[in-house]
Structure 1
Amino acid sequence: MKIATLPRIGAPMLTLGASTFLVLAYNSSFWKTFVSATGGIRLGNLPVYLGAFVALVLLFNAILTLVNFRFVIKPVLIVLFLGASAASYFMNQYGVVIDAAMVQNVVETDTREAHELLSWQMLQTVTLLGIVPSLLVWRLPLRFPPVRRDLLAKLGTVALSLLAIAGLLMLLFKTLAPAVREHRELRFLLTPTNMFQATHGYLKRKWATPAVIAPLGTDAGRGSQWAAQPGKRTVTIIVVGETARAMSFSLNGYTRTTNPLLAAQAGLVNFASVSSCGTATAVSVACVFSNLGRDGYSADKAASQEGLLDVLKHAGFDVLWRDNNSGCKGTCDRVRYEDVSQPKPGDPLCNAEECYDERLLGGLREMIRASPKDLVIVLHQKGSHGPEYFKRYPAGFGKFGPVCRTNELEDCSRESIAAAYDNTILYTDFVLSRTIDLLRAAAAEDGVDTAMLYFSDHGESLGEHNMYLHGAPYIISPAEQRRVPMMLWVSDGFRERFKIDNSCLAARATQQFSHDNVFHTVLGLLNVSTAVYNPKLDAIHPCTRRN
């Protein structure tokens, strides 16, 4: 039958059919989780499944009935179908959920990162579940009743739908209540309501961002250890890793040797049990450079006050953020900023699309020699950002294989995905080791005291629990997305100046730490005196011998 010959139907039939289609076509992730949450597939649960299905259809139908007007309903349904098809693809493909943080990731991701998520599989899904039903709706002839009768019918439909939903919930309450209470991720999986909740949450936070930034740590100054060597400069490099998970570091016991160079670095302290503030860059980077801690963090609060880099600037340090990623998420807005992520023709550290993390080190020795001030340099890596892990490292670091060489992870084995990811960790090992070598040489040849602190923003799922990538709501996120690497290296001169006991640090390396410790550890490391410093959250404070 040609679309042009489709029979004219009543507008209420369209909303009912669209509601049924929405519940069935775009919610496989929701139904899988719902079935698991209610005890799994068994005959006795059939009334629960049918009742939940009918309740959701009635709910969607009631909502759509409110906008079921000529010239309105068709555009609404087309937007829903297109958006829901894309959302369901990402949920099914990568095991992600749609929440405010995920919307923030989408909005703040650069075009190169976004391009990696596009695939033929996505095009097929959006075409089948988005474009085709949209075209059908657009061409479908509709019949609308007279206005007065139509309004009465709409009110009746909504009222009866809500009553029926209430009745179903009462009948199924004993089963549904514990399932919903214990599996709060269900609200992030129900499409398309998750899209609206997430977008509303993101826009609410975005629009609420204050124009005035509250100062923080303006009393910051140098502590007593600076007086001993007033003319000797310090250089501290903070490396912010991207998507590096702790369990893929051989320093933390991983079976593959992904850290051969770091393992040979004398004086390196590896903190083996560190948790992140969030599971996405937009959250974790803003959080870790604030003094809020995970429990006190919100995007609004972080955006409304200065952060760690501002406090260091108040203390007289020359602060630079050098980026090979998608920006600093507001944390470097008031310090110097360099973007090294844009490829340049002929640069051996870049390909046609992006640059490797080694480019972050370019010109640092010269900068250290030329600067008359104490430096704090933040290097923001591209790291292990997926799904195209194979693009994150030069060819010479493809030690593990065979590797997945596509962004369509369903076409790859778990082993090939892990191999590609492990190669990114091997390359990070090289970049960090080179950073330490650079700082060691600067200490020996340029007479400066040097230090490096590395931590990743969040981890990554590589198929565990059928989840991929990152960005899961923290409350339901797996350890793979929360556990991150962190390590510290200081030169002999730095250690002596600031009275740091490395053997004590090594003994503390297995203790539990988190991103909450970073703000205060950096201030303690550099002996910065300020009222916002909390020694209880300073990971190295028990290992200093200061007056």
Structure 2
Amino acid sequence: MKLPRIPSAGLPLVGASFLVLIYNISFWKGFVSATGGLRMANLLVYLGTALLLVLIFSGVLALVNFRRLFKPVVIALLLLSSMTAYFMSQYGIVVDASMVQNVVETDVREAGELFSWKLVQSVLLFGALPSWLVWRLPVRYGSLRRELLANIGVVAGSLLLATGLLLVLFKTLAPAIREHRELRFTLTPTNVFQAANGYLKHKWATPTVIAPLGTDATKGSLWAAAGSGQHTVTVIVVGETARAMNFSLNGYGRATNPRLAQVQSLVNFNNVSSCGTATAVSVPCVFSGLTRDNYSEVKARSKEGLLDVLQHAGLEVIWRDNNSGCKGVCDRVRYEDMSQPVAGNPLCSAEECYDEHLLEGLPELIRNASKDLVIVLHQKGSHGPAYWKRYPAEFRKFGPVCQTNELEQCSRESITAAYDNTILYTDYFLDKTIRLLKEAGVPASMLYFSDHGESLGEKNMYLHGAPYIFSPEEQRKVPMMLWMSDSFSQRFHVDRSCLAARSSQQFSHDNVFHSTLGMLNVNTAVYNPKLDLFHACNDDA
């Protein structure tokens, strides 16, 4: 049956209605909650807000309502919106500039873990099918002049009606929007364009000249102390997606840290906050020397960071990576990519390598060092949603385990079990790192902290990357711990009992930069003793 041709003037309204009502389940859930919950008394507010958004979207679509332009634009919006809506509803995420940065800067393997047949089905049903119908839709266009005048009328009429409606609803909408800024990150597809614009602004503003930092750095007097002829080694382990509340060292019910619990002289800091909720933010921030309140990507990329300062002081710095890169912080130090699978290596699968791979060759590296060493190990850690892939089979202690990236098919308990097994493996990995340092027989230390946490279904949120201003505690509270050999603590006069007494105090990623400099007795004008958690525990008696 041949469909009658539809007048082109009505297309923007139809397209806008479809976008607002079909792809914005996450927005409407948030909006209903922000306006006091689902109540009949708010029905007019819901209907009015829906009409307001339809009018605004309609006015925008009218700008492209021309032959050979409207359909391709709408099809692109439908496909984009179907994918965005899927990830928002599936994982409870919102779309902001940092989320776009995560997508752009992740590697193919990590991105592949988000692929599922449910995603394909969703895009086919809500993206491809409507797109096909739009493409086949017969439309009656007039002359270019006539269409231009009609579109101007639609734009003007839509915006005029939207303005009037906004004035009527303003008293209700203003408090909700002001108190729930996250709503703008859930309105599809405007959230994607807004986030992409924010990301590109930062990206294009990145300076090409890197300002030096801490070029005056020198080793302090403790390096020349008696018996300090041996080279020292400091290992900084940057964890991935480990949240503090799932560490039994922090009181978690499951024994996720059986090995670390037996390590003498380990100091566990149990009240630590991250700088961001995603690797692309937290890793540059923690190594930048900027506090979270002062951090921006532009500032961090415009100058050197902690690893550069350590190099200026005469230490050899090596970054070993089992993740998706160092986000720029290791650009001027020795870099070793340990993430690529090695055929025949039992520590690697066909897709990736377990974190233990980071330790291969480390004893030889320490033994053959000609300088004091700082080695950064960047874990794959607990990166989701494929938690079950992050650990060897022998660490599958907790179960049943969710073994799909389609988390809606799994119970909260099975998702948490898989995640807890990743923490159990991290426990083993850190314990093995400490044992390796002990066997090296040199003054050694290990500092571990995670870049951010993870949501495992709390408040119907999964994964990470929520805007910090309203991110849940699960994504912000991270583990941090320190181990020192006796010879290391003696050389640098660190009172470990004093550190243990401070372990429950509130710290954050802000402390890492200055604490590392303080721990290693590096003198530089950029060092801030107020942010050095070791400063109060230096035993110079």
Which TM-score bucket, shorter chain as reference? Answer: over 0.9
| 1:189 aligned to which of 186, 191, 199 | 186
**1:167-206 matches, cutoff 5 A:** 167-206=164-203
| Residue of structure 2 equivalent to 1:462 | 456
Q: 2:10 aligns with which of 10, 13, 18?
A: 13
> Hey, what does 2:420 align to over in structure 1?
422
CA-based RMSD of the aligned residues comes to 0.9
Partner in structure 1 of residue 53 of structure 2: 56
- Post-superposition CA distance 1:58-96 (Å, at most 9, x none): 000000101111111111111101111100000000000
Which residue number corresponds to residue 93 of structure 2? Answer: 96
- Shift of residue 14 of structure 1? 1.9
Between the aligned partners of 2:235 and 2:224, the Cα distance in structure 1 is 22
Cα distance in structure 2, aligned partners of 1:19 and 1:307: 47
By how many angstroms is 1:43 displaced? 1.2
Provide the secondary structure at the position in 2 that maps to 1:185. Answer: helix
Is residue 482 of structure 1 aligned with residue 437 of structure 2? Answer: no
Determine the C-alpha separation between the residues in 2 that align with 1:235 and 1:339.
Answer: 20
Aligned-residue offset at 1:150: 2.0
Partners of 1:70 and 1:303 in 2: how far apart?
A: 45
Question: How far apart, in 1, do the equivalents of 2:29 and 2:540 lie?
Answer: 57
Shift of the alpha carbon at 1:410?
0.2
Q: Contact 1:240–1:454 at 8 Å: present in 2 too? A: yes
Mapping for residues 468-507 of structure 1, pairs under 5 Å: 468-507=462-501
Contact 1:516-1:537 at 8 Å conserved across structures: yes
Partner of 1:217: 214
- Secondary structure, counterpart of 2:288 in structure 1: coil
State the alpha-carbon separation in 2 of the partners of residues 153 and 341 from structure 1: 57
Q: Which 10-residue stretch deviates more, 42-51 or 229-238?
A: 229-238
- Which letter maps to 2:61? L
Letter in 2 for 1:457: D
CA distance in 1, matches of 2:449, 2:540: 26
Letter in 1 for 2:337: D
Instruction: Give % identity.
Output: 70
For the residues of structure 1 that align with 2:139 and 2:540, how far apart are their CA atoms? 80
Asked if structure 1 preserves the Cα contact closer than 8 Å seen for 2:9 and 2:150, the reply is no
- CA–CA separation in structure 1 for the residues paired with 2:540 and 2:338: 39
> Residue type matched to 1:144 in 2?
Y
Letter in 1 for 2:493: K
In the alignment, the residues of structure 1 paired with residue 125 and residue 530 of structure 2 have an alpha-carbon distance, to the nearest angstrom, of 56
Partner residue in 2 for 1:519: 513
Q: What is the match of residue 208 of structure 1?
A: 205
Find the residue that maps to 2:181 and give its secondary structure: coil
Answering whether residue 432 of structure 2 is matched by residue 438 of structure 1, we say no
CA distance in 2 between counterparts of 1:465 and 1:416 reads 17
CA contact (8 A) 2:9 2:154 kept: no
In structure 2, the residue matched to 1:540 is 534
Instruction: Supply the distance in 1 between the matched residues of 2:160 and 2:5 (Cα, whole angstroms).
Output: 30
Deviation at 1:149, TM superposition (A): 2.5
Equivalent position amino acid for 1:36 in 2? S
Kindly indicate whether the alpha-carbon contact (under 8 Å) linking 1:19 and 1:57 is maintained by their aligned counterparts in 2: yes
- Code of the aligned partner of 1:215: P
- C-alpha deviations, 1:96-130, integer Å up to 9, x for none? 00111111111111110011000011111101111
Match of 2:62 in 1: 65
1:140 aligns with 2:137: yes
Q: C-alpha displacement at 1:273, in angstroms? A: 0.4
Contact 2:358 2:377 in 1 (8 A): yes
AA of the residue aligned to 1:18:
G
Structure 2 CA distance for aligned equivalents of residues 161 and 77 of structure 1: 18
TM-score by length of 2: 0.99
Find the aligned partners of 1:48 and 1:342 in 2 and give their Cα distance: 54
CA contact (8 A) 2:288 2:306 kept: yes
Q: Distance in 1 between matches of 2:205 and 2:495?
A: 45
Indicate whether 1:377 and 2:384 are aligned.
Answer: no
Per-residue CA deviation, residues 293-343 of structure 1 (Å, 9 max, x unaligned), is: 111111111111100000001011100000000000000000000011111
The letter for the 2-side match of 1:394 is P
CA contact (8 A) 1:402 1:416 kept: yes
* Secondary structure at 2:253 match in 1: coil
- SS, match of residue 237 in structure 1: strand
Deviation at 1:396, TM superposition (A): 0.2
Tell me which of 144, 149, 153 is aligned to 2:150. 153
* AA aligned opposite 2:232: T
Aligned mates of 1:10, 1:516 — CA distance in 2: 60
Superposition deviation, residue 167 in structure 1: 1.2
CA distance in 2, matches of 1:75, 1:538: 56
Which blocks of at least 5 consecutive residues in structure 1 are unaligned? none
Matches within 5 A, 1:304-343: 304-343=302-341
The worse-fitting range, judged by mean Cα deviation, of 453-462 and 170-179 is: 170-179
| Cα distance between partner residues in 2 of 1:351 and 1:149 | 63
Answer whether contact 1:239 1:455 (CA < 8 A) is retained.
Answer: yes
**2:65 alignment partner AA:** N
How much does 1:37 deviate? 0.4
Aligned residues: 540
Kept in 2, the 8 Å contact 1:225–1:546? The answer is no
Partner of 1:296: 294
Segments of 4+ moved more than 4 angstroms = none
Q: Distance in 1 between matches of 2:117 and 2:246?
A: 30
Residue type of the alignment partner of 1:249 = F
Q: What's 1:398 paired with?
A: 396
What's 2:360 paired with? 362
For 1:462-520, what per-residue CA distance to the aligned partner results, in whole angstroms no more than 9, with x for missing partners? 00000000000001100000000000001101100111011110010000000000000
Measure the CA separation in 1 of the matches of 2:220 and 2:282: 29
User: Secondary structure of 1:289's partner?
Assistant: helix
What pairs up with 1:229-248 in 2 under 5 angstroms? Answer: 229=226, 231-248=229-246
The structure 2 residue matched to 1:347, chosen from 342, 345, 348, is 345
Q: Which moved more, 1:400-409 or 1:220-229?
A: 220-229
CA contact (8 A) 2:66 2:147 kept: no
Q: Do 1:459 and 1:482's aligned partners in 2 also have CA atoms closer than 8 Å?
A: yes
Q: TM-score, normalised by structure 1?
A: 0.98
AA paired with 2:467? P
Note the C-alpha offset of 1:425.
0.1
Q: Which amino acid aligns with 2:357?
A: R
Determine the C-alpha separation between the residues in 2 that align with 1:332 and 1:93: 34
Matched, 1:449 2:443: yes
Report the more deviating stretch, 145-154 or 430-439: 145-154
Say which of 407, 413, 417 aligns to 2:411: 413
Cα distance in 2, alignment partners of residues 467 and 413 from structure 1? 14
1:255 partner SS: coil
Separation (CA, whole Å) in 1 of partners of 2:229 and 2:85:
60
Question: Which residue matches 1:508?
Answer: 502
